[in-house]
Copies of this chain bind each other. A is one copy, B any other.
Amino acid sequence: MAPKYVYFFGNGKAEGSAEMRNLLGGKGAGLAEMTNLGIPVPPGFTITTEVCTVYYTNNQQWPAGLEDEIRQNMAKLEQAMGKKFNDPHNPLLVSVRSGARVSMPGMMDTILNLGLNDITVRGLVEQSGNERFAYDSYRRFVQMYSDVVLGVPHAEFEKLIDEKKHERGVELDTELTAEDWKDLVAKYKALVLKATGKPFPEEPWEQLKGAINAVFGSWNNPRAIKYRELNNIPGDWGTAVNVQAMVFGNLGDTSGTGVAFTRNPSTGEKQFYGEFLINAQGEDVVAGIRTPQPIAALEQTLPSAYNQLKEIYQRLEAHYKDMQDIEFTVENGRLFMLQTRSGKRTAMAAVKIAVDMVKEGLIDKATAVKRVEPDQIVQLLHPMIDPDQKLEVIAKGLPASPGAAVGRVVFSADDAEAWAARKEKVILVRSETSPEDIGGMHAAQGILTSRGGMTSHAAVVSRGMGKCAVVGCGAIRVEEDKKVFHVNGRVIREGDWISLNGTTGEVILGQAKMIEPRLGGDFATLMSWADEIRKLGVEANADTPHDAKVARELGAQGVGLCRTEHMFFAADRIRAVREMILAEDSEGRAKALAKIEPMQKQDFREIFLAMEGLPVTIRLLDPPLHEFLPHEEDLIVELAKEMGVSAEALRNKVESLKEFNPMLGLRGCRLGILYPEIYDMQMRAIFEAAGELVKEGHAVHPEVMMPLVGTLAEMKDLRRRCDAIAKETQDRLGVKFAYKVGTMIEVPRAALAAGDIAKEAEFFSFGTNDLTQMTFGYSRDDAQGTFLPVYLQKEILPQDPFRTLDQEGVGKLIQMAVAEGRKSRPDLRVGICGEHGGDPESVKFCHRAGLNYVSCSPYRVPVARLAAAHAVLEEKKA
């Protein structure tokens, strides 16, 4: 038996319901549900999303039987309305709208008044007794249909209207008469014939088929595809098509149309919120030609419709138990509902509505937690640009790290530090950043780069710091040496004020006004509910005491990743680091490292104190050594002078450290095994800091993490040395403290050999950034600029694997490693510390994979807490 393709609604009864959202789309399911609730809805029918999918697999042909089913439903609709499609005297007109499972901008919105032609328009005149209304409706239909279905640009029709107004010497559309519109309809049709080579379709059935196919077509237009890409919506969901009897808000002063929210979507306040226009069709509200009135004014204008609307909106909210976004039309005083759906809302509103509805007894805490999208709440954690101001946006880049920043432009990390030292707020602007810029990035309010993607150095480090960043802003050209940047012919100089919006990627000229985040109240309440539900621990990636403190305030239960390389760049130690690299032998290296050791110890003391009572996982030195040396000739010469070596020698060293594929080169624990002095120094610093603090009465939980381990033998070697240094330190200080030794799992082989490695590792932390790079064979830095965008666009990849964990590939390795690791060591602690630790979908995967914790940037900690709670709730549902 063929599946049912079309679902009818009308006369107080619908074949569909709210539960059939996947099949009927959001709009269709809402119309059906309202119909069943006895709410007045113009009758109509929904062609299912499955038809769209079949349409595409079927070479863009309708499945057999579809046309019959549509004709049967049209007959039902004619009966319900007492009108007939294409009837010269009493014509049935319909609207055709798309409606996917989730609301999707970029898809075809609406065609109104379908069914009109030169004959039926006369019937509409007959029925309405309003010729101007009828021809206005007709020309609207021709214009809309030609634009959306036939591809004749909207502007060309507007030009004809302008000509007509000019000819008639009037200014407003409303001043045009029925005759004018009639004449314009003729001109419109001539335009269509000229532009498409075919006459405008007069046959209503032909019009309907064209409209339905246009809805299907809009599912795969570039904007819709782009939106799906960004929102991880599968291409095979498809869209439904809603065909609904027209009701008219443009029949005079007792008619109108409006949109409203059952609560304030910006703030979440419990107030009926919206606007309406008297004597208008839906599109007029959006078009902005006339200014709509606030919804409250409807009480005066059309009190009975208003009262009915109020009763309906309250019923709808009570029924759906969520804030609704509704559309309605009043036709000659009679109210019709055209749509109800969950209303989109700001993060602030989402939190307030969720918490309020629990207080009101509408929903339980679990539902409240589910109502807030984890990704959304990042907005609440950062200062925001006050939307109530006029901004001069001069460029737009990638929104790499959310929040907003205002400061004066500087072009080097050193300048950033120097200006910040004299209390200047600065924005660091560079072509791209490198590890040498860390200090300056810290000192700056925000970072702006002209190059690099969402996972470039600037982006990753900024997110880690919770610092606003806009990267890859191709419209600007930075001349660091001249201390200027160019944007669209304009020159911005050092010291000029700019503002950045890291949530939108906007670069704004001047000082924008800001709103500070508020983390107490409803936010705290909701997060506490999430914490009650979640099982996954949430820790933070924090490299400094400041980051650690912020993370703790945002609910981190430990530091899951403390990278030590950034500490090596500090001005007071980079020289010793370079001495170490240039040393000829182990002894020379040890001598240079001895200078750094007391500072490293101090770093760890401060982080341990900031996280007192909670675990701190410290990763030993990871990046290749060449990152600590300059690469440009002039900097080499300068440094050589400073270090008292020949430029030749330094150049040779830089050259000898060059690698074809540094990602796969001498880094991580390979460094620690080749040059044991480095790791030994770091481990001594960790244990001395821990030992001293324990002696002073503090509770510290150091965990030493080895990067890039791939074999049991590496882990064994490192573990043995770690234990020896721990014992030696404890003996020397005369104190005992607990510590753990574990490893990152970031090369595929480590995951494959997890059963072995767990024999020597007390914890695993999946470094999913590198693990993704090596599992896919994608260099993150290279892929972003070359094939990755194409792969996403062509749907070779369903989503960016550096943003959301690839569950089929990388995830499989993780699952294997967890299973094998726990087989060897049942109490193995397992977490994740890549960028994915702050991505909701990835956090949910970590929950399902049985991880103990995720670790992410401090400002992603609340996101992860909420996502972890969602994971539990989704599991319960399934």
Q: Which A residues are closer than 8 A to B by beta carbons?
A: 659-666, 670, 673-674, 708, 710-711, 713-714, 717, 746-749, 752-753, 756, 770, 773-779, 781-783, 786-787, 790-791, 794-797, 806, 808-810, 812-813
Residue from A711, A777, A782 having most chain B Cβ neighbours under 10 A: A777
A713 to B791, CA, bound (A): 10
CB neighbours of A674 from chain B (8 A): 786-787, 790
Decide: A795 and B713 in contact? CB cutoff 8 A.
Answer: yes
Say which residue of B663, B777, B794 sits within 8 Å of A749 (CB atoms).
B777
A711 to B790, CA, bound (A): 15
Knowing A752-B809, A797-B713, A809-B749 are in contact, say whether A786-B663 is a contact too (CB < 8 A): no
Say which residue of B717, B797, B809 sits within 8 Å of A753 (CB atoms).
B809
- The residue of chain B having its C-beta at the shortest distance from the C-beta of A665 within the complex is B782
A490 to B752, CA, bound (A): 51
Decide: A748 and B813 in contact? CB cutoff 8 A.
Answer: yes
A783 to B664, CA, bound (A): 8
A315 to B665, CA, bound (A): 57
Shortest beta-carbon distance from A724 to chain B in Å = 14
- The residue of chain B having its C-beta at the shortest distance from the C-beta of A806 within the complex is B749
Decide: B659 and A782 in contact? CB cutoff 8 A.
Answer: yes
CB neighbours of A779 from chain B (8 A): 659-665
CB neighbours of A714 from chain B (8 A): 796
Decide: A711 and B748 in contact? CB cutoff 8 A.
Answer: no
CB neighbours of A775 from chain B (8 A): 747-749, 752, 774
CB neighbours of A778 from chain B (8 A): 664
Decide: A662 and B665 in contact? CB cutoff 8 A.
Answer: no
CB neighbours of A756 from chain B (8 A): 808
Decide: B665 and A664 in contact? CB cutoff 8 A.
Answer: no
Shortest beta-carbon distance from A195 to chain B in Å = 28
CB neighbours of A748 from chain B (8 A): 748, 774-775, 777, 809, 813
A740 to B806, CA, bound (A): 29
A796 to B711, CA, bound (A): 8
Q: 20 other contacts beyond A710-B777, A747-B776, with CB at 8 A cut-off?
A: A660-B779, A661-B661, A661-B662, A661-B664, A661-B782, A664-B773, A664-B782, A665-B783, A665-B786, A666-B787, A670-B787, A673-B791, A710-B776, A711-B796, A749-B776, A752-B809, A752-B812, A753-B809, A770-B777, A774-B777
Shortest beta-carbon distance from A793 to chain B in Å = 11
Say which residue of B660, B670, B752, B795 sits within 8 Å of A781 (CB atoms).
B660
Shortest beta-carbon distance from A675 to chain B in Å = 10
Shortest beta-carbon distance from A652 to chain B in Å = 14
Say which residue of B662, B665, B666, B752 sits within 8 Å of A813 (CB atoms).
B752
CB neighbours of A782 from chain B (8 A): 659-662, 664-666
CB neighbours of A659 from chain B (8 A): 779, 781-782, 786
CB neighbours of A673 from chain B (8 A): 787, 790-791, 794, 796
A666 to B749, CA, bound (A): 23
Decide: B663 and A664 in contact? CB cutoff 8 A.
Answer: yes
CB neighbours of A786 from chain B (8 A): 659, 665-666, 670, 674
A773 to B710, CA, bound (A): 12
List 3 A-B pairs, minimum CB-CB distance, nearest first: A664-B779, A747-B777, A661-B779
Knowing A664-B661, A783-B665 are in contact, say whether A796-B713 is a contact too (CB < 8 A): yes
CB neighbours of A749 from chain B (8 A): 775-777, 806, 809-810
CB neighbours of A809 from chain B (8 A): 710-711, 748-749, 752-753
A713 to B787, CA, bound (A): 14
Shortest beta-carbon distance from A672 to chain B in Å = 10
Shortest beta-carbon distance from A816 to chain B in Å = 9
A527 to B797, CA, bound (A): 48
A713 to B776, CA, bound (A): 13
Decide: A711 and B797 in contact? CB cutoff 8 A.
Answer: yes
A749 to B777, CA, bound (A): 8
A771 to B587, CA, bound (A): 38
Shortest beta-carbon distance from A502 to chain B in Å = 25
A774 to B750, CA, bound (A): 12
CB neighbours of A717 from chain B (8 A): 794, 796
CB neighbours of A753 from chain B (8 A): 808-809
A776 to B711, CA, bound (A): 9
CB neighbours of A663 from chain B (8 A): 660-661, 664, 777, 779
- The residue of chain B having its C-beta at the shortest distance from the C-beta of A747 within the complex is B777
- The residue of chain B having its C-beta at the shortest distance from the C-beta of A812 within the complex is B752
Q: List 16 A-B contacts (CB under 8 A).
A: A659-B779, A659-B786, A660-B781, A664-B774, A664-B783, A666-B783, A674-B787, A708-B777, A711-B796, A747-B775, A748-B809, A752-B775, A752-B812, A756-B808, A770-B777, A774-B775
- The residue of chain B having its C-beta at the shortest distance from the C-beta of A798 within the complex is B713
Knowing A747-B776, A749-B775 are in contact, say whether A781-B661 is a contact too (CB < 8 A): yes
A659 to B748, CA, bound (A): 22
A228 to B711, CA, bound (A): 20
CB neighbours of A806 from chain B (8 A): 749
Residue from A659, A713, A749 having most chain B Cβ neighbours under 10 A: A749
CB neighbours of A660 from chain B (8 A): 662-663, 779, 781-782
CB neighbours of A670 from chain B (8 A): 786-787, 791
Shortest beta-carbon distance from A711 to chain B in Å = 6
Shortest beta-carbon distance from A775 to chain B in Å = 5
CB neighbours of A770 from chain B (8 A): 777
Residue from A659, A662, A781 having most chain B Cβ neighbours under 10 A: A659
A93 to B275, CA, bound (A): 113
Shortest beta-carbon distance from A40 to chain B in Å = 47
Residue from A670, A770, A773 having most chain B Cβ neighbours under 10 A: A670
Shortest beta-carbon distance from A761 to chain B in Å = 15
CB neighbours of A794 from chain B (8 A): 673, 717
A647 to B748, CA, bound (A): 42
A781 to B661, CA, bound (A): 8
A778 to B775, CA, bound (A): 13
